[in-house]
Structure 1
Amino acid sequence: MTQLKLGLPKGSLENATIELFEKAGWLIKPAARNYFPKIDDDEVACSICRPQEMSRYVESGMLDAGITGKDWTMENESEYVLVGDLVYSKVSRKPTRWVIAVAGDSDIKSLEDLEGKKVSTELVNVTRRFFEEKGINVEIEFSWGATEAKVVSGLVDAVVEVTETESTIRAHGLRIIYELMESNTQFIANKEAWNDTWKREKIENIFTLLQGALNADRIVGVKMNVAQEKLEEIVKILPSLNAPTIANLYNTDWFSVETVVSEDVVRDLIPALIKKGAEGIIEYPLNKVI
């Protein structure tokens, strides 16, 4: 049987990715100390690996496709096919940011002030290219982790670090002086796998359903019964992606009205619908919007 070798990111994105796949229709069951989780699809074989290494494995053909960060594909300068962006993270649906930060009481105020200084980061190649393009000479050292603490302890003058909420940076008393880049999650494919008709179709189907699951985030369906004389007034206050669905109820002058709306609208919408005469209102979650 032909199988698609799919890489899933280990670390902070692991749980969010598995939850996204479940919403898209695939049940993945990780096993303790096992890098090959089970998936309820005989056509897919999963491997879990670090996002920092994913693009190299995809480029080499060890994996047919994988989910990683734009930052790490840039860092590795690997060759691959970008299937598409999947904008999600461990805490939000916003891109992460790589920033340059210094100690709160540092005399360094701008990029130019880093001339001749020492910078610590995991994103060595991207950082080196950035400063070379700016014509600023810095000493860059690789960080194995706890990067922010190196500034606090005086081991380096600045760090290039990833952040979503800036909470860790603020907790260490650091100050951001520059935003280097934004990064988001990407679905990438091996070039040979992409040229294989079966694998390409499988990859595209997975991406479509994953994107559909993301599109459904914080969107719900709302369904109700409306008398004919109140229909126009109800429809006027209904938000929807395109237009509400309206169908006659059998042998009555009532209608079934259905729409899709943002979750944060519902708390105000339902009381308004009741006042306008809607009955039998149902709110239901959505797994995918495609």
Structure 2
Amino acid sequence: MGEKLKIAVQKSGRLKEDSLKILKECGISIDNGKDQLKASAFNFPLEVLYLRNSDIPQYVEDGVADIAIVGENVVIEKQKELDVLQKLGFSKCRLAMAVPKDVDYNGLEYFNGKKLATSYPNSLRQFLDTNNLDCEIHEISGSVEIAPNIGLADGICDLVSSGSTLFKNGLTEVEEILVSEACLVANKNISNLKSAILDRLLFRMKSVLAAKNNKYILLNAPNDKIDDIIKVLPGMNSPTVMPLAKDGWSSLHSVITESDFWGVIDQLKLSGAEGILIIPIQKMVL
């Protein structure tokens, strides 16, 4: 049957859905039966282990799983010896400190001598030590946001995405400790055979991510404007230029990053570009 690379993913929740989605986008088909604890890919030497999110770093460090898709915040909090191979661009959030909205917050000194509730004591302690703050940490799991309302703490340290949960509990975010997204991590002592499989998987993931971060652009322009447009238009090497049926006109094709999109479009229009089309890219092999 041959060696298989074992990848751990969250057994339930949004991170599981996005993890399986990127594997599918990498062309990997997995039999995901209901309540399975593990499943094998049909067309790639990969076995998926469905584990509790907070346990994943330990399993990878111990070699039970070779690699995993897990939040950076969990990797930092658990303080395990892992190789972070690739940020994956989804499940973005931040670890932040929040206080009741009626508090007159005037800076980090507010927290000296206060009680803080969190599910991330290691990350919080590191932040407090870095800023020379003396606080009492209450480690709790579950609904951290309720702690100030029941008198357990003066503030909290928790993951924040939209901030709606803080708002509903009468809290306001005051300090950001770290930003996080899903990432691919690996055991530091992975075998040579499994490392070769991992290289193949990582190549596919990078191709998928590159496609998500870039757009294919097509435009028409008078031939006397081409040089000006090429100066504006970014690309992997140089834009492709093809003559149109209309005399004196050409079509230019290139790739632009998502972050450059609107700035480049404005410059292209000023340089004489017309009929600009932006097309998503499914895969991008670099």
TM-score, normalised via structure 1 length = 0.79
2:145 aligns to what? Answer: 148
Report the AA paired with residue 122 of structure 1: S
1:59 aligns to what? Answer: 61
Structure-2 separation of matches of 1:167 and 1:154: 21
1:73 aligns to what? Answer: 75
Instruction: Note if contact 1:114-1:138 (Cα within 8 Å) is conserved in structure 2.
Output: yes
The C-alpha deviation readout for 1:132-160, integer Å capped at 9, x for no partner, is 44443322222222211222333321110
The answer as to 2:1 corresponding to 1:3 is no
Residue 41 of structure 1 and its aligned partner are, at CA, apart by 3.0
* Corresponding residue SS for 1:187: strand
Q: Residues 171 and 241 from structure 1, CA distance in 2 versus in 1: closer, same or farther, beyond 3 angstroms? A: farther
* Corresponding residue SS for 1:13: helix
Residue 199 of structure 1 and its aligned partner are, at CA, apart by 1.4
* Corresponding residue SS for 1:186: strand
Structure-2 separation of matches of 1:235 and 1:26: 43
Residue 203 of structure 1 and its aligned partner are, at CA, apart by 1.5
Residue 254 of structure 1 and its aligned partner are, at CA, apart by 8.7
Q: Residues 237 and 62 from structure 1, CA distance in 2 versus in 1: closer, same or farther, beyond 3 angstroms? A: same
Q: CA RMSD in A?
A: 3.4
The answer as to 2:132 corresponding to 1:131 is no
Structure-1 separation of matches of 2:23 and 2:33: 16
* Corresponding residue SS for 1:204: helix
* Corresponding residue SS for 2:189: helix
Select the residue among 197, 200, 203 that pairs with 1:202. Answer: 197
The C-alpha deviation readout for 1:46-74, integer Å capped at 9, x for no partner, is 11223322111100000011111222222
Structure-1 separation of matches of 2:135 and 2:16: 34
Structure-1 separation of matches of 2:106 and 2:273: 58
The answer as to 2:46 corresponding to 1:44 is yes
Matched residues, number: 275
Structure-1 separation of matches of 2:42 and 2:224: 46
Q: Residues 200 and 101 from structure 1, CA distance in 2 versus in 1: closer, same or farther, beyond 3 angstroms? A: same
Residue 234 of structure 1 and its aligned partner are, at CA, apart by 5.3
Structure-2 separation of matches of 1:208 and 1:100: 37
Structure-2 separation of matches of 1:29 and 1:255: 48
Instruction: Provide structure 1 residue ranges, at least 5 long, that are not aligned to the other structure.
Output: 90-94
The answer as to 2:278 corresponding to 1:286 is no
Select the residue among 106, 115, 137 that pairs with 1:118. Answer: 115
Q: Residues 101 and 201 from structure 1, CA distance in 2 versus in 1: closer, same or farther, beyond 3 angstroms? A: same
2:87 aligns to what? Answer: 85
Q: Residues 246 and 149 from structure 1, CA distance in 2 versus in 1: closer, same or farther, beyond 3 angstroms? A: same
Structure-2 separation of matches of 1:177 and 1:277: 46
Structure-2 separation of matches of 1:113 and 1:202: 51
Structure-1 separation of matches of 2:102 and 2:220: 63
Report the AA paired with residue 116 of structure 1: G
The C-alpha deviation readout for 1:94-149, integer Å capped at 9, x for no partner, is x5211110100125543332233221111112222332444433222222222112
TM-score, normalised via structure 2 length = 0.80
Seq. identity, %: 24
Q: Residues 151 and 207 from structure 1, CA distance in 2 versus in 1: closer, same or farther, beyond 3 angstroms? A: farther
Residue 247 of structure 1 and its aligned partner are, at CA, apart by 5.3
Instruction: Note if contact 2:219-2:274 (Cα within 8 Å) is conserved in structure 1.
Output: no
Instruction: Note if contact 2:220-2:274 (Cα within 8 Å) is conserved in structure 1.
Output: no
Instruction: Provide structure 2 residue ranges, at least 5 long, that are not aligned to the other structure.
Output: none
The C-alpha deviation readout for 1:19-48, integer Å capped at 9, x for no partner, is 222223223453322232443334100112
2:256 aligns to what? Answer: 261
Report the AA paired with residue 175 of structure 1: T
Report the AA paired with residue 164 of structure 1: S
2:185 aligns to what? Answer: 188
1:101 aligns to what? Answer: 98
Structure-2 separation of matches of 1:103 and 1:74: 27
Residue 206 of structure 1 and its aligned partner are, at CA, apart by 1.6
Q: Residues 176 and 282 from structure 1, CA distance in 2 versus in 1: closer, same or farther, beyond 3 angstroms? A: closer
2:209 aligns to what? Answer: 214
* Corresponding residue SS for 2:113: coil
